[in-house]
Structure 1
Amino acid sequence: MLLHFIRADIHILVFLLVTLTSFCYVATSLLDTITSSSYILKDPETLSSNNTMFHLGFFTPSNSSTFTYLGIWYMSKSSLVWVANRNQPIKDSSSGHLKISEDGNLVVMNQQNQILWSTNVTNITSNTTAQLQNTGNLVLQENTTGRILWQSFQHPANTFLPKMELSTNEITGQRVKLTSWRTPSDPSIGDFSMSLERLNIPQVFIWRGTQPYWRSGPWNGQVFIGIPTMNTNYLDGFYLDGEGPNNGTYYLSYNYANTTMMYVLSPDGNFHETYWDYAKREWTVDWFAISSECDFYGKCGPFGSCDPTNSPICSCLRGFEPRNAQEWSKGNWSSGCVRKEPLQCDDRVRNNSRGGDGFVRLQNVKVPDFSQWMSSIAYDCRTECLANCSCIAYAYDSGIGCMLWTGNLIDIQKFSMGGIDLYIRVPSSELVKAFQNHVDDISQVKLQEHSLFELEKLATATNNFHSDNKLGQGGFGSVYKGRLEDGQEIAVKRLSKTSGQGAEEFMNEVMVMSKLQHRNLVRLLGCCIERDEKILVYEYLPNRSLDAHIFDPPKQKALNWEKRFNILEGIARGLLYLHRDSRLKIIHRDLKLSNILLDDELNPKISDFGMAKIFENTENEANTRRIVGTFGYISPEYALQGLFSEKSDVFSFGVLLLEIISGRKNSSFHENVESLSLLGFAWKLWENDNIRSLIDPEISDSSNKEDIKRCIHIGLLCVQELARDRPTMTSVISMLNSETVNLPPPKQPAFIQIQTMLDVESSLRNDGACSINYMSVTNIQGR
């Protein structure tokens, strides 16, 4: 019986001791603060954050029985996120302890009271406390002011926690960076580190010592574009900010409200995205920064591109070849590639229509390192790069702007998805090869530069070329309004397979428009040649073509004389640029009202260069047996003899001018009983000094009657029968802008009779050697 009571008392005592011990352990583990007077943390005691997620205490690595460290872990010691005394472990078997020292610093000491680690803050009071926050951040702060003196987030180990900030100061060079463990069981500082770099366009780098090992690609405000899997799932997580040019510090952080995630830099230099598996009570790896050989920095050397789906994975960029062919063939790609032919960037070549540099596009890539930033729109990237002989590549991202490269192109990787397009500068000979690989039915292409759009992206932009987005229909096919992913509005001209404009006209327009830039020329953004498609992509102009305004009575009212004169002057300046001021000499050969597009301010832009002809600098006239153009606008020497020159465009401009002033079509003029064409009608009124009858009633009451009459005079000079009698566009602009210039009297125009014009048309149709391109007559609704 006594024994029974003794045993019972022992059971009660053990229960009370266990309960009390558990209570004391829970109580101590729930405390999140150390003070200078009341708390010393010893092994195996722990400090816990208020939310009980993070714990601070001493630990011994799994494969070590002698070394002890102070660390912070999440949920369990198998998920350590920070280590204090990484390079100064407690080496004896006795316990270490953590306390606030007399000078106010937080210190780790061994049993001999040697300081192995300290927060090492100077000029502080001893009245401090240390707190483990709910974020896993250990902070040392002043009691009186609450000012934070030191925090573990600014001295991270190998783990990037939510709300932690990786930072770099471009002025001082000071960095908050991750450093790997030496081995999985050795938390001392290892070979690898991670930091924020290239602050003009920030990127994250992993370094092996001082050498780059991996990089994220540039930050575009939402994601790092060199990580193809980093998509909209991250938009509420990562952010990058800076404190301006005076401070010079940039911060990268992330925060996920509904999930527990963190990132770890492993001892082998890889960077892991991990999440906490509550069922298994462990961290599970969800993503690796380095998942293939191509992820290693500069795997294929300068001017090499790495594609993990290819064998071999490395290839030289177009226009380049291996620097060391023998090494390259053996799989040693470190020496990279060199250019096959030198670039041709000089004034002599840029002014030569048969030479010069251009760009080939590499799609869906991780762009090279060492980019230079320029705030600009996409079109200006190409212009800026082409104008700078040192620029060898460019790219554009709507969140970044222009990126330009002037040095070696290093660390390019081809993605199956994601990334952006990189435009690589090459000599003209490479452009010919590049485009011939895409267009089999053209044997010789003088293409200078181009931008290739993916058919899928254009289909998405136009809602699969839906009829609701159709802007117009012509013999060439249809024009659709579209919107790209970045919000840019475009006009998509899709040539039909039965179009009178075939591969030659398509290529001609791409070739010509890629070389031209002027405010009065429509801008070609690129083209698409996938499958059997021939698609041209232009800037979108909301006010349709000029004929839709001039020949539509309700819209005529909106075009007063000042607006019409502005349109005439803009067209004239665009033609002058083509004939004299551009680096090429271009004859348009299809100038008409429907090929003049209007922007939102009714500024004119010349479009449709499918019939255009590039002249050599020494050429003034050319001959052809293939007559192209539109009935009513073709000059007589071109229609009857196949001769064309800049004076052919001047004739078309004269017709266009008379149409704008009169509001009447030259090609379908039925107003006169004598069967006169518009040109003939204008000539008769001019001779009879009755020019007022030619003027559109909507502008006939204008106070600028003398200016209108002067413009009609200029128009009649432009449509004279002999090319030598017509003025140049230089003279036309001078006459338009000067009231003091004495204009010579005009001579009788060509094609004054409608029947004469029809006879010319008929003869062209019946001549097997020549054909007029009636398919170019369009009814475009605007783009």
Structure 2
Amino acid sequence: MDYKKNPSLPIMLSFLFICLSLNNHLSLGAETISANQPLSGDQTISSNGGNFELGFFTPGNSSRSNYYIGIWFKKVSLRTIVWVANRETPVSDRISSVLRISDGNLVLFNESQIPIWSTNLSSTSSGPLEAVLQDDGNFVLREGSANSPKLLWQSFDNPTDTWFPGAKMAYNNRTKQNMRLISWKNSEDPAPGLFALELQQNTNSYIILWNKSVPYWSSGPWNGKIFSSVPEMIANYIYNFSYVSNENESYFTYSVAHTSTISRFFMNISGQIQQQSWLESTKQWNLFWSQPRTTQCEVYAFCGPFGVCNQQSMPFCNCLKYFQPTSDKSWNLSDFSAGCARKTSLQCGNDTLANGKRDKFWEMPNMKLPDHPQTVAVGSSSECESTCLNNCSCIAYAYGDHCSIWIGELLNLQQLTSADTNGGTLYLKLAASELSVSPPSKKRMTLLLIFGITSVIVLCASISMCIWQRKMSKRKENRQINKRNQAHRMFHSESHVQELIDLGELKEEDEKGLDLPSYDLESIRVATGIFSDENKLGQGGYGPVYKGKLPSGQEIAVKRLSRVSGQGLKEFKNEAWGLWTDNMLMDLMDETLRDTCIADQFVKCLNIGLLCVQSNPSDRPTMSIVIKMLDGETVNLPAPKRPAFVIGRDQSSSTSSNKPKSINEVTNSLEAR
């Protein structure tokens, strides 16, 4: 046909192509697959009430091109798969793969048109067949018309991991076959996992099996209302449970009290059975109950060979020391079933290793010991260790009341808390290269802990002492600075007078005296070394006498009135004068000076001193006369009258204060000419 003569031909061809594409990618619009209507690509079928949908899907967030035929909740926004046909044999191309009725069965052909899954019916059918997705989630193959169909096969009899309301979990009393819920391998692989739920007919209870062989949980027997180990079943306001047993079969079934409730009962990859209901308000599944409900570590061998389960950590599973996950990808998907493997091979039985060092053991306290130990008759822990070390098949040992060793894989290991007294110590065999230093014993660990704590205490004490010493040093330095400042002030006062004398600026005028400086208590303390006992010259009734040294180097003597002295301030001031009048001046001399001091010179100095402190300034000698007196130029000195004493004044103030002074603040001051 010439499209130039028929310009509408390209438009018709384009429209036909679009229709074919839509037919390949849109839903079939019905709940049925028939001989004339297969399913492929993105086509799906839906149940009559719109509860469920069937088609090709890719599980989880898998980036692999693995496609499966499955059923999911159509009204749940979070896609939740409840049944899988080809769970062990995915297809890589959903477009060229097809699910259709062939030779009396429902068959899935892959991209190479090879059948990979089938309902596997052996009887032949004479009438037409159709596969229908029902609104209860049951996918059935039936023969005949919709009015009088004959059921040939149904998904309720071939569950994967999910148990639907209305379906049976049965045991065939005639064939002795169990119906099982088997978990997915992981969140991205619907292949059968390690955990399965089945009915145990002889006890009328359900059990969960690990690897189809090891039971690790039981529902307890049926008591007419609930299973004894599942008390949550009492809350039947959501679910109605029933148990039936007859000569043909024993089964358990349940229904939902409200048909609008979306619910599922499934065997999780965690090894727990869980019952959940969908909450549209939160767009999440709500957990109604789960078993085993106590701890995740109750699931048998949850962490796989050489994996340790710890209920106190997240994730629950970790590898033994010096082991690593067999598959990092599986562990990231919470599939720990493959467990862990050694990083370094053992020396025992391995002639290819060059170092030649014997294997060693790693101590693991507070452990729930692995399953399947072998008992060895030995008399001590060292003999038990030697037995395991010399047996290349032995990978661990423990010694308590007896010696236990383990051959092959370690399964069901669990780290217990320190408060759990049911654990034991496991000694794991490792390559010597991984334990270059022997693991510390408990005694050594205790000593190390004590040493560490003691070291911390000593360190803290040392730091505190250093801080205290620095503070004390700073205080001492500040006191020394204050003393130097005070000594400087005293030296400045003394040297000022000396300079005036040396420069001849002291004008000697009759009836006019010179105002000499006074010293405060702190200056006297500095000069006498804070009245130290080393500087003490003697003791009198008024108190002690101290020698001192001025900043200029001049030595002085200082009298200090004692607090406990029976004499008062008046006696203190007049004691020297009283000795003069009684002709007892030699009593003022310190006994240590009697052998070296010239008595005449001593009396002469006292005479001059008393003349310098006369009450009337006119009776006082001028400084030039004092010097002549001291030089011996004056032979006969006048007798002194009663001296004048005044309370010391503060040189830093221009006015005197009427404030009373304490005894220790008393200093002598005089006016000289």
Regarding TM over 0.5, the answer is no
TM-score, structure 2 length as denominator?
A: 0.40
TM-score, structure 1 length as denominator?
A: 0.34
Larger Rg: 2
